[in-house]
């Protein structure tokens, strides 16, 4: 009950297109779902996060969609840009809980072609 499954493993999108990354979790008690962005040679950085009380959260070109019944959430990057090329990790855990208790997906390597 502690896995977070992320897909696809890699993704190539043309500039201006929509990038979609999906994650599925198992533990129904989880109530915090962050996404992290990691550029090569850098540490992960919190990008956007959602809680189950809303089905969608948007920040600029980044949107999280959340489906509680399906235990799935996804990251959509609108108008994808070459600068968005990075590895994206989803995670799941308890809101306000220990950072150490977040369960991370294996990551999606996104390449945006000019």
Q: Is 63 in the site for other proteins (CB under 8 A)?
A: no
Among 60, 83, 96, 114, binds other proteins (CB under 8 A): 96
Q: Which two tokens stand for residue 5?
A: 């499954």
Residue 25 C-beta: closest distance to other proteins, Å = 13
Among 7, 11, 22, 32, binds other proteins (CB under 8 A): 32
Instruction: Point out which span in 13-21, 53-61, 71-79, 105-113 binds other proteins (CB under 8 A).
Output: 105-113
Which sign does the torsion angle of CA 46, 53, 100, 35 carry?
negative
Which sign does the torsion angle of CA 95, 101, 107, 112 carry?
positive
Q: Which two tokens stand for residue 46?
A: 């919190």
Q: Is 40 in the site for other proteins (CB under 8 A)?
A: no
Contact 56, 65 (CB under 8 A): yes
Give the separation between CA 56 and CA 22, rounded to whole angstroms: 14
In DSSP terms, 68 is beta-bridged to none
Residue with tokens 């990551």: 107
Residue 40 C-beta: closest distance to other proteins, Å = 11
Among 21, 74, 89, 112, binds other proteins (CB under 8 A): 89
Q: Which residues bind other proteins (CB under 8 A)?
A: 4, 6, 9, 32, 34, 41-46, 49, 89, 93-102, 104-107
């Amino acid at each position: 009950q502690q896995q977070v499954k992320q897909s696809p493993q890699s993704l190539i999108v043309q500039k201006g297109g929509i990038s979609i990354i999906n994650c599925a979790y198992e533990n129904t008690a989880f109530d915090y779902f962050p996404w992290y962005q990691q550029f090569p040679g850098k540490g992960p950085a919190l990008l956007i996060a959602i809680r189950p009380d809303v089905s969608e959260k948007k920040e600029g070109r980044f949107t999280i969609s959340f489906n509680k019944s399906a235990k799935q959430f996804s990251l959509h990057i609108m108008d994808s840009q070459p600068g968005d090329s990075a590895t994206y990790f989803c995670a799941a855990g308890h809101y306000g809980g220990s950072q150490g208790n977040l369960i991370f997906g294996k990551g999606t390597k996104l390449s945006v072609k000019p």
